[in-house]
Amino acid sequence: MSRAEKLRRWLEKELGGNLISAETPFPGRLFIDLKREALTAAASGLMNQGARYQMGIGYDARKDGRGFGLVHTFAFDRDSLLVALRTFAPGDNPEFDSLTPFIPGAGWSEREYQDLLGLKFRNLSDRKRLVLSDDWPEGIYPLRREVPHDLMPPAAEEVAFRLEEAPPGTSIIPFGPFHASLHEPAHFSVYVDGEDIKGCEYRGFMTHRGIEKLAQTELTYNDVPFVAERICGICGSVHAVNYAQAVEAAAGISIPRRAEFIRMVALELERLHSHLLWLGVAGHLIGFDTVFMQAWRIREKIMWLAERLTGNRKTYGLVIIGGVRRDINRESSRDIRSTLEEVDREMQALEKAILKDRTIHRRTRGVGYLSKEETVKWNLVGPVARARGLKIDARRDHPYAAYDEVEFEVPVADSGDVWGTLVVRVKEVYEAIKIINQCLDRLEKLSKNEPLAVELEGPIPAGRQGLSLVEAPRGEAVHFVLTGNENRPERWRVRAPTYPNLQAVPSMLLNNKLADFPIIVGQIDPCISCTDRVLVVENRSGKARLLSRQELENISRAKRSGR
Amino acid sequence: MTGTEALWLGLINLLLSFLATLILGKRAYAIRLVGTLLNSLSCFFLAWQGVMILGGGQPVELEINLAGIHLPLLLDGLSALFLLLLSVLVLSSTLFAYGFYERTEARTARKIYLALPVFIAGLVGLLTVDDLGPGFFLAWQLMAVSSYFLVRWGRPVKLSARPALVYLAFMESAWLLITGAAFLAKGYHYGDTLAVIGEKLSGSGPVAAAIFFGLLLLGFGLKTGIFPLGQFWIPGAYSTASPPVAALLAGILEKTGVFGLIRIFFFVARGAENGFSPGLWGQVLLVVGTLTLFIGTVQAIKQSDYLQLLAYSSIGQVGYIIFALGSSLVAWHSGWPLAGVIFTGAVYHSLNHGVFKSLLFLTGGSLLYATGTRDLNRLGGLLSFMPATAILAALASYSISGMPASSGFVSKWLMIAGNFLAGKDSLPLTLAGIVALFTAAFTLACYVKFFGLAFTSAGASWKLKKEIREVPASLLIPKIFLGAVCLSQAFLPLAYVRLIGRSLSAAEGFLLPGVSPDGLKTNPLGLQIFDGPALLAAAAPLAMLVLLLVLTFLARLVRQSAGAKETVVPAWLCGYQDLNKNNVYADRNMFSDLKKFFRWTGANKNVVVDDEELPGSVPSGKGVIS
Amino acid sequence: MKVAAVVINLLYFLLLAPFLEGVMRKITARIQSRQGPPLYQPYLDLLKLLGKENLNAAGHPVFRLAPLLALASVLSAIALLPLAGQSSFLAHSSDLMTLIYFLTLGGFSILVGALASGNPFASVGASREMMTIIMLEPVLAMTLILGVVRAGSLGLVSVTEGVSTNRGLSYFLMMAVYLVALQAFVSRQPFDIPEAEVEILEGPYVEYSGPNYALFRYTLNLKRMFYSWLFVAGFLGFMLPGNIILCLVIQTVLILALFVLISVIGATHPRFRMDQALKFYGILLLLALLAVGLGVRGW
């Protein structure tokens, strides 16, 4: 009996009448609807059976008369199963039980919907603002249906985020939003005793602009991949592919083999240059700029390669629902192979230099340590989790595209520190090269006449749920799509790997040295833009809006001419 | 008026001051006024006595018959020099006390004004008596008991009882050690003068002599605060006594211990030629001094209570003096002419330290007066509120750190340069010199922290609910006076070295004969050490100052070369937080890794208790310091 | 002549110091597979900074005074240096101790300026800078004391000559210690901890900009050159009495060579953490002490 079947039985027994439905519309997923009262029991039951919490999704379903929906998703990595628990609360009393008492990592998701939808959570200990900017007025919940996407409310006056006081015996060192070790805006209020870190408070989401809102009000299904790609400057394809997969799953579309392999090539190329980028940044963060420059020099070859393949260094614009837009022909294939050979060779030289450097050992071993238990507790993902002995990798555990047809290792380390993260990432570079080469082999064997994308047959039916995973360079990215009318998703939720990883950073920082702050935060390769889901920043005024192309051009021209 | 008459007049004045306080009862203002006047007047007489002796160049021996007990007194150059220091410090502290005790409740003020003249008289006695018997007993007990009460009344009893008792216990055991030691001399008669003791000692065998010197080192060492004995009482006593008293404790009480050590190891020792091994005792002093200076100073940087910081740093600075006395003995024993240079440095440093440490304690007193807290973590940015105090604190901090063109530089130069030159042939001297130089950097760290975090930086105005104002003139004038003395010590090294030379020539029985320091020649600008025709070393504070000023001017020209404008902006904290009381980098964070590295030196407990934090006490914001 | 020596020394250092930074940047760039800025770039940087606005974060004179005092004290130390084996006319009123204390004063001014700015990053930097001074100034001092022990004088000429008179065990040990410490003296990796850009944003200098910062930069350049000069003059002993031009040329070549070495080491090491560096410095201190001990024994 499969895990999904077992779970269904268990839920039926345990919840009785509180379970409304449990279905598996496509393999590897279990969508459960249950009554509000049973949420905690079901969630804790799943956790007790070894589930890994992923994210919460809140949405406004009042127009269907169902109030506010709240979905929590869980992964059973050994059984290739994702479980989504959906409950509803009436619009006039949108209160749910908080999962934080037994899943601390659910805190951000719940706070996010407290901000964006005005949901309320019983037993949520930290009720501070998470997503909305400091001067966003109280009582306006931007993700609710009635709030237009381009609302510009007057900024609340004389408000400031109330940062906690420093605990007795400590002082605060403010890191960010503009700090040399943070490449994107976020604020850490770090408590130090001397140079020992005794805790920290995080204030992020400074660049939240509501892409999700945009997708469900303005864009169409096929516009979204291009916006999704712009969620992140590094792993854009991850989000585009992930979104496309979620929609395809929900709509029951299966895409051509050729497209699957091409998507994989794009994803792995991104992993390559992302890891090289991280390696360089990590070197820079411990004061080793030569590593920075050399790693980025190697990375540059991949950027050029990407430009030759797609026309862009990043943001390839490759993915559409149902397939891809560009082919990889034999010539490109040769190009990729030769570039990868070079990268492989140079990477080996760099690896030797890095792994043998004793000072790097000193700066990374034992730094940013997090035990395996804590790692599980905070639901960490990606290289950060794998460096802490957790062998999870969405490519292996929940195969998508054609990952089940290629061979690769999932490198794991158990040192639990920055060093482990570094080793895992370095090894993954070689695995990525291996995967790309296998994809190219397969592509070369496939018929050239196979289409790159399938034509969609009619509109995508509304009300279906799609849940998709992609192993981004930083870890598992999750997309949830609830299909809607008007050729656009009813709800699209993006959870980037940094979202859970960042929540564990305070634990990693604890009792480390101030000097290690950059590398500890850096080890998760924080992608603030993925986490914040940004487009335009007007943090001070709290206004979220899109710039038109014309406006953008005007601004950049004004800058260039010194106005 | 002869020196002796002046001494009597000074003591009589102190007696009058005591009596006047007794009579005036509860009239606090009158007590302060009369006490200040009479105490200051006695300073004048005591200084006069010093000048007369130094000017006359002849030591005076006296014997007082007090109800059948004979008290021998010796007024020679050395005691005159220390009496001069005493009168300068007592004068400034007395003047400071006038303003400082204004806020103290009448009862406490009266008690303090009763104890002060007794304490001063005791100090004068210690610098003049010439025995280890009854005279010494009288002087020591006057000093010890009165200062016990001064410490005890410095803070609320809950905080002061213990340190005061510890202080008294240590003072009394020091007295026992010193008095007991004398009995080791063969045929010692209670009340013999020091010279006689020396002679008798020379016939009592090497073992007895060794124990004698050992006990006296312990006894006087206890009082100067050698490692590890000083750590037990000095931090407690100095930080508990109210700052004007602490200024006296650190400025002169400690120096009477140094005076005792000099008397024993450089005067009595000469008489005890057979029983005294200068090489051995020099090395003992050298080791003890080096340990003391290093550990005391390292402990000082760990303190957040600025009075504690000053107290620990006093231990360190006295360590320098003992270290120099030791190396001087070693150098003399090996026949190097530099012994005199190093010895001069030790005495010079005693004078310097007396002045700048007093100035620092008075600064501490001003901070306490103006802010009500002794916690460096809560201070910051006082420069804008109390600029005059800040400038004087900068001067004192600069001097004690031994920076170029300061008084501390001159005395440290004499001690350390002498050490290095003599150390050419002696590893211990070189190593001790290196430790001393190494420690100078710790001293700097200590005072950069003290000055930087109290006066520059930011914070006091947010962390204290009180309005901060510059202290009144009565608290400023004594500091300005000490500042002026401090500057004279920096820029007239020639005069001071001559003064020291003169004081030694006006003293009989000095161990290093003809020490008007051999090899140390002076030019109008500064000091030079010659070996025959060859110039070995030179230091000229004034020349250094001129050089610095010229080049600073040059730097200013460069800075202004493009006519840049200045704009005052808020400190930049990465764009989200503004500077507030939480994110000002507090004192306890400074040098954290270094503190850990030197954890083994002790004194790691860094707890600051302000009077106002005591339950039931009046908050200092209300203007009462009990 | 002796007065001229002071002026020549000052000019020599003032003119050459930024160039050496240019060399450092060029070599670092080459190791990092970059073109790097032109060699004269540091001069342009200084000029540019001088023309900018002075931002004062503290609003009081201590902040303003610090850069002046920093530059003046390093220049004072330079003014005392002998030229071509001849003592300067300041030799009669200065010696080794003066030199050491002038250098300490330079560090002191940076600290005071940093603390005055009130910025927590500057304070962290100041705290680290002070720890470095405490642990490393003695290494410099002991190098010179090795010379004192040999020469029996604190005069700068005798001391610098003294260091290399006896090339025994103590000489080589001290040379090794100095070379390692040099990396910290010139604040390059692995010991550029007080400035550590990614952690504390250039530490003590975070609030300094424009001309004030230019003075600090200049100070840093001069300090770097000074410590290299000391190595060349002390350990290599090229003083060539009499021939000023030749002496300056040889000095310059050797200092350049030393800068190449510094740059290579700097570009191939990550930064230590303060607690790690302190242990390292502790070992250096003990080795230097050992070297002096050996020196006194005549080895």
- The 10s digit of each residue's pLDDT in C58-69 is 778 888 889 999
Phi/psi for B464 (5° steps) reads -110, 135
Q: Residues of A with CB below 8 A from C280's CB?
A: none
Phi/psi for A149 (5° steps) reads -70, -20
Token pair in block for residue A177:
């939003």
Whether residue B228 is preceded by a cis peptide bond, meaning omega within 30 degrees of 0, is yes
Is residue B577 within 8 Å of residue A176, measured between CB atoms? no
Percent of chain C with pLDDT over 70: 98
What's the pLDDT score for residue A430? 92
Q: E strands within chain C?
A: 54-56
Average pLDDT over residues A525-537: 60
State the pLDDT confidence band at C41, using cuts at 50, 70 and 90: very high
| B119 CB-near residues (< 8 Å, 6+ apart) | B142, B143, B146, B147, B150, B245, B248
Q: For residue B87, is pLDDT > 60?
A: yes
What's the pLDDT score for residue A550? 56
Q: Is A290 on the interface with C (CB under 8 A)?
A: yes
Q: Could C130 and B444 be called an inter-chain contact, meaning their C-beta atoms sit closer than 8 Å?
A: yes
Q: For residue B507, is pLDDT > 70?
A: yes
More confident call, B460 vs B242: B242
pLDDT tens digits for range B609-624: 777 665 444 333 333 3
Least confident of A411-425, A453-467, B533-547: B533-547
Q: Could C137 and B441 be called an inter-chain contact, meaning their C-beta atoms sit closer than 8 Å?
A: yes
What's the pLDDT score for residue B338? 79
Q: Which 3 state secondary structure label does DSSP give B568?
A: strand
Q: Is A516 on the interface with C (CB under 8 A)?
A: yes
Q: For residue A563, is pLDDT > 50?
A: no
Q: Residues of C with CB below 8 A from B535's CB?
A: 91-92, 153, 155
State the pLDDT confidence band at B403, using cuts at 50, 70 and 90: confident
Q: For residue A292, is pLDDT > 70?
A: yes
Hey, which of B73-77, B467-471, C5-9, C209-213 has the most confident mean pLDDT?
C209-213
Q: Report which residue type is found at B430.
A: T
State the pLDDT confidence band at A193, using cuts at 50, 70 and 90: confident
Q: Could C119 and B573 be called an inter-chain contact, meaning their C-beta atoms sit closer than 8 Å?
A: yes
Q: Is A178 on the interface with B (CB under 8 A)?
A: yes
Q: Is A279 on the interface with C (CB under 8 A)?
A: no
Name the DSSP class of A177. Answer: S
CA distances from B233 to B93, B442, B605 (A): 22, 22, 15
Q: Could A174 and B584 be called an inter-chain contact, meaning their C-beta atoms sit closer than 8 Å?
A: no
Q: Report which residue type is found at A425.
A: R
Name the DSSP class of C272. Answer: P
Q: Could B457 and C118 be called an inter-chain contact, meaning their C-beta atoms sit closer than 8 Å?
A: yes
Rg (CA), chain A: 23
Average pLDDT over residues A172-184: 82
Q: For residue A357, is pLDDT > 60?
A: yes
What's the pLDDT score for residue C23? 92
Q: For residue B492, is pLDDT > 90?
A: no
Q: Could C97 and B416 be called an inter-chain contact, meaning their C-beta atoms sit closer than 8 Å?
A: yes
Q: How far apart are CA C288 and CA C299, in angstroms?
A: 14
Q: Residues of C with CB below 8 A from A289's CB?
A: 28, 32, 267
User: Any alpha helices (H) in A311-417, and if so which ranges?
Assistant: 330-356, 358-364, 372-377, 382-386, 394-397
- Nearest CA distance, C200 vs chain A (angstrom): 8
Mutate to test the interface with C, among A195, A279, A350, A360 (most CBs of C within 10 A): A195
State the pLDDT confidence band at B57, using cuts at 50, 70 and 90: low
Q: Could A171 and B586 be called an inter-chain contact, meaning their C-beta atoms sit closer than 8 Å?
A: yes
Sign for the pseudo-dihedral over CA of B512, B514, B515, B518: negative
Q: For residue B604, is pLDDT > 80?
A: no
What's the pLDDT score for residue B521? 67
Q: Could C134 and B594 be called an inter-chain contact, meaning their C-beta atoms sit closer than 8 Å?
A: yes
What's the pLDDT score for residue B617? 40
Token pair in block for residue C150:
């040999």
Q: For residue A536, is pLDDT > 70?
A: no
Q: For residue B472, is pLDDT > 60?
A: yes
Least confident of B362-366, B397-401, C271-275: C271-275
Q: For residue A498, is pLDDT > 50?
A: yes
Q: Is C110 on the interface with B (CB under 8 A)?
A: no
| B12 CB-near residues (< 8 Å, 6+ apart) | none
State the pLDDT confidence band at A537, using cuts at 50, 70 and 90: very low
Token pair in block for residue C135:
């642990």
- Nearest CA distance, B622 vs chain A (angstrom): 26
Q: How far apart are CA B180 and CA B575, in angstroms?
A: 69
Least confident of A282-291, A543-552, B97-106, B543-552: A543-552
Q: For residue B193, is pLDDT > 90?
A: no
Average pLDDT over residues B577-605: 82
Phi/psi for B534 (5° steps) reads -85, 135
What's the pLDDT score for residue B271? 66
What's the pLDDT score for residue A554? 59
Q: Residues of B with CB below 8 A from A178's CB?
A: 574-575
Adjacent-strand bridge partners of B527: B522, B539
- Nearest CA distance, B461 vs chain A (angstrom): 17
What's the pLDDT score for residue B163? 87
What's the pLDDT score for residue A543? 40
Name the DSSP class of B417. Answer: I
> Can you list the domains of chain A with their CATH numbers?
3-131 (3.30.460.80), 211-532 (1.10.645.10)
Is residue B244 within 8 Å of residue B347, measured between CB atoms? no
What's the pLDDT score for residue A532? 66
pLDDT tens digits for range C234-280: 887 766 666 778 888 888 888 999 999 999 988 888 888 888 888 88
User: Any alpha helices (H) in B153-251, and if so which ranges?
Assistant: 157-182, 194-202, 205-224, 230-240, 243-248
Average pLDDT over residues C217-231: 90
Mutate to test the interface with A, among B453, B577, B607 (most CBs of A within 10 A): B577
Q: Could B583 and A175 be called an inter-chain contact, meaning their C-beta atoms sit closer than 8 Å?
A: no
- Nearest CA distance, A538 vs chain B (angstrom): 14
State the pLDDT confidence band at C42, using cuts at 50, 70 and 90: very high
Q: Could B588 and A169 be called an inter-chain contact, meaning their C-beta atoms sit closer than 8 Å?
A: yes
Q: For residue C70, is pLDDT > 90?
A: yes
Q: For residue B515, is pLDDT > 70?
A: no
Token pair in block for residue A477:
């990215």
Q: Residues of A with CB below 8 A from B596's CB?
A: 194
Average pLDDT over residues B409-426: 82
| C44 CB-near residues (< 8 Å, 6+ apart) | none
Mutate to test the interface with B, among A134, A164, A173 (most CBs of B within 10 A): A173
State the pLDDT confidence band at B520, using cuts at 50, 70 and 90: low
Average pLDDT over residues B194-223: 84
Least confident of A421-425, A428-432, B617-621, C72-76: B617-621
Q: How far apart are CA B454 and CA A37, in angstroms?
A: 59
State the pLDDT confidence band at A548, using cuts at 50, 70 and 90: low
Task: Name the nearest CA neighbour of A279 among A473, A431, A412, A472.
Answer: A473
Q: Which 3 state secondary structure label does DSSP give A69?
A: strand
| B527 CB-near residues (< 8 Å, 6+ apart) | B410, B413, B414, B493, B494, B497, B520, B521, B538, B539, B540
- Nearest CA distance, B552 vs chain C (angstrom): 5
Q: How far apart are CA B91 and CA B485, in angstroms?
A: 12
What DSSP line would sit under B235-292, residue for residue?
HHHHHHS-HHHHHHIIIIIHHHHHHHHHIIIIIIHHHTTTT--HHHHHHHHHHHHHHH
Judged by CB atoms within 8 Å, which residues 106-125 of C form the interface with A?
120-121, 124
Max CA pair span of chain A: 70
By the 10 Å C-beta count (0-12 exposed, 13-18 middle, 19+ buried), B216 is classed as buried
What's the pLDDT score for residue B591? 86
Q: Is C130 on the interface with B (CB under 8 A)?
A: yes
Q: How far apart are CA A404 and CA B511, in angstroms?
A: 95
* Strand-by-strand arrangement of the A465-472 sheet: A465-472, A475-482, A491-495
Q: Could A363 and C267 be called an inter-chain contact, meaning their C-beta atoms sit closer than 8 Å?
A: no
Least confident of A42-56, B25-39, B217-231, C172-186: B25-39
Q: Which 3 state secondary structure label does DSSP give B444?
A: helix
pLDDT tens digits for range B5-35: 888 888 888 888 888 888 887 787 888 888 8
Chain C residue closest to B555 (CA)?
Answer: C68
Q: For residue C138, is pLDDT > 60?
A: yes
What's the pLDDT score for residue B283? 87
Whether residue C190 is preceded by a cis peptide bond, meaning omega within 30 degrees of 0, is yes
Q: Report which residue type is found at A307.
A: E
Chain A residue closest to B596 (CA)?
Answer: A194
Hey, which of B165-169, B458-462, B471-475 has the most confident mean pLDDT?
B165-169
ipTM score of complex: 0.87
Mutate to test the interface with B, among C46, C52, C103, C108 (most CBs of B within 10 A): C108
What's the pLDDT score for residue A551? 58
- Residue A59 Rama label (left phi>0; alpha psi -120 to 50; beta): beta
Q: Residues of A with CB below 8 A from B573's CB?
A: 174
What's the pLDDT score for residue A539? 35
What's the pLDDT score for residue B52? 80
Q: Could A194 and B574 be called an inter-chain contact, meaning their C-beta atoms sit closer than 8 Å?
A: no
Q: For residue C167, is pLDDT > 80?
A: no
Q: For residue A541, is pLDDT > 50?
A: no
Chain B residue closest to A194 (CA)?
Answer: B589
| C255 CB-near residues (< 8 Å, 6+ apart) | C16, C20, C225, C228, C229, C232
Mutate to test the interface with B, among C121, C130, C142 (most CBs of B within 10 A): C130
What's the pLDDT score for residue B619? 37
Q: Could B574 and A178 be called an inter-chain contact, meaning their C-beta atoms sit closer than 8 Å?
A: yes
Average pLDDT over residues B175-186: 86
pLDDT tens digits for range A141-171: 888 888 888 888 887 777 777 777 778 888 8
What's the pLDDT score for residue C239? 62
Average pLDDT over chain A, rounded to an integer: 84
User: The pTM is what?
Assistant: 0.85
State the pLDDT confidence band at C215, using cuts at 50, 70 and 90: very high
Average pLDDT over residues B46-56: 81
Q: For residue A191, is pLDDT > 50?
A: yes
